[in-house]
């Protein structure tokens, strides 16, 4: 319970800090952003897209916090039997780290208005994310081969549940990634797509942070 609450507080602090930083240092990437025509020195509010992402991250954080709390409470019961985590999870973790790094490179390319570099980095991030998801499915196969199923073992059931929820959220991010990548295909400059790349990067970093905590929790329980 304690670790889950600490994690929840940490992520919420990061989300709030992100929102505040975007409010103070807002950059109107969109060419048709009406706020860019405001007189200099007038405070500019956070964009709806960034606000929406902040709310989404807060909701996801709360949901994972509840699941983590339930996990910690459930493991205190007598029928809890620790599961040997599949070794492929280490490889999957490295792959997701690389996906987050690639997404950050895409953001750098977008800020330089380098369409080619942005597209290449986005494609790399997406492919690595798909590899991560495939690796998670292989982890499920390894767990089943070792005799751990959802029924009869609460630890295994939580493993399947938590990794599935994380995977579904990553798939949701890939849907946005796919739209952004396809719209950049025929673009001559990043322009209005820069904000989408920025939001994808923040989301990928968040998903990586959630997974790192989840992986550490699974390893130590």
Mind listing the pLDDT tens digit for each residue in 75-127?
777 777 777 788 899 999 999 999 999 999 998 888 888 888 888 999 999 99
Residue 39 is assigned to a structural domain of this protein: no
Give the domain CATH number at 180.
1.20.120.80
Q: Write the pLDDT tens digit of every residue in 175-195.
A: 989 988 887 776 667 777 788
Residue 101 belongs to what domain range? Answer: 2-30+44-219
Q: How far is 14 from 202, CA to CA, in rounded Å?
A: 11
d(CA 109, CA 118): 5
Sequence-ordered list of residues with C-beta below 8 angstroms from that of 38, at least 6 positions apart, any chain: 44
Q: Is 115 within the bounds of a domain?
A: yes
**Domain-located, residue 128:** yes
* pLDDT given for residue 17 in this prediction: 57
Mean pLDDT of the chain: 78
How many angstroms separate the CA atoms of 149 and 119, rounded? 40
CA pair distance 204, 210, nearest whole angstrom: 10
How many domains in the chain? 1
Residue 38, domain member (yes or no): no
| 36 within domain boundaries | no
pTM greater than 0.85 (yes/no): no
């Amino acid at each position: 319970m304690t670790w889950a609450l600490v994690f929840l507080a940490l992520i919420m602090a990061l989300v709030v800090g992100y929102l505040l930083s975007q409010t103070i240092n807002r950059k109107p990437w969109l060419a048709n952003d009406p706020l860019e025509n405001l007189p200099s020195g007038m405070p500019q509010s956070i964009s709806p897209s960034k606000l929406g992402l902040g709310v989404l991250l807060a909701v996801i954080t709360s949901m994972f916090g509840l699941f983590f709390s339930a996990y910690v409470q459930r493991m205190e019961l007598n029928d809890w039997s620790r599961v040997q985590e599949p070794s492929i999870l280490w490889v999957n973790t490295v792959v997701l780290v690389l996906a987050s790094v690639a997404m950050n490179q895409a953001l750098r390319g977008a800020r330089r208005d380098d369409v080619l570099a942005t597209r290449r980095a986005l494609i790399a991030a997406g492919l690595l994310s798909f590899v991560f998801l495939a690796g998670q499915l292989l982890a499920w196969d390894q767990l089943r081969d070792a005799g751990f199923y959802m029924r009869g073992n609460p630890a295994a059931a939580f493993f399947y549940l938590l990794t599935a929820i994380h995977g579904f959220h990553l798939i949701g991010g890939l849907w946005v990634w796919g739209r952004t990548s396809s719209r950049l295909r025929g673009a001559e400059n990043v322009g209005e797509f820069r904000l989408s790349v920025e939001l994808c990067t923040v989301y990928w970093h968040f998903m990586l942070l959630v997974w790192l905590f989840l992986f550490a929790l699974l390893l130590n329980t």
